[in-house]
Amino acid sequence: MPFYTFECIQCGIYDEWHKSTASYNEEAKCPSCYQERKRVFLPPNLLFTSQALRKRVDSGMEPKIVKKENIGGKPRHHHKHSQQPKRPWQISH
């Protein structure tokens, strides 16, 4: 009997035993609130972490949008180089 982990929007994460590997898709609703659920693939012991930490990890995959004004820091360092490098070994004609 396979052991599967599911997540319901209302009830959160829960585990279920199923008779076969094909039967877990038959019931696509949460057994307590009958809302839609999705199968969750978790590494060992991640199930026991707090919900706040799980949300933070999931949101860490999304890029942070930053405006130019909010970047802060020092302005970029610019050099003023002469247009032509000095080449003392060259003699002009």
DSSP per-residue letters across 15-28: EEE-SSTTGGGT--
Is 29 among the domain residues? yes
Cβ atoms 4, 24 nearer than 8 A = yes
| Cα separations in angstroms, 27 against 11, 20, 35, 38, 60 | 16, 12, 11, 11, 31
pLDDT at residue 35, as a whole number: 86
- Which positions of the chain have pLDDT values less than 50? none
Domain that includes residue 39, residue range: 3-62
Is 93 among the domain residues? no
- Give the total number of structural domains in the chain: 1
Is 58 among the domain residues? yes
pLDDT at residue 76, as a whole number: 67
54-78 burial: b if 16+ Cβ within 10 Å, else e:
beeeeeeeeeeeeeeeeeeeeeeee
Is 68 among the domain residues? no
pLDDT at residue 20, as a whole number: 65
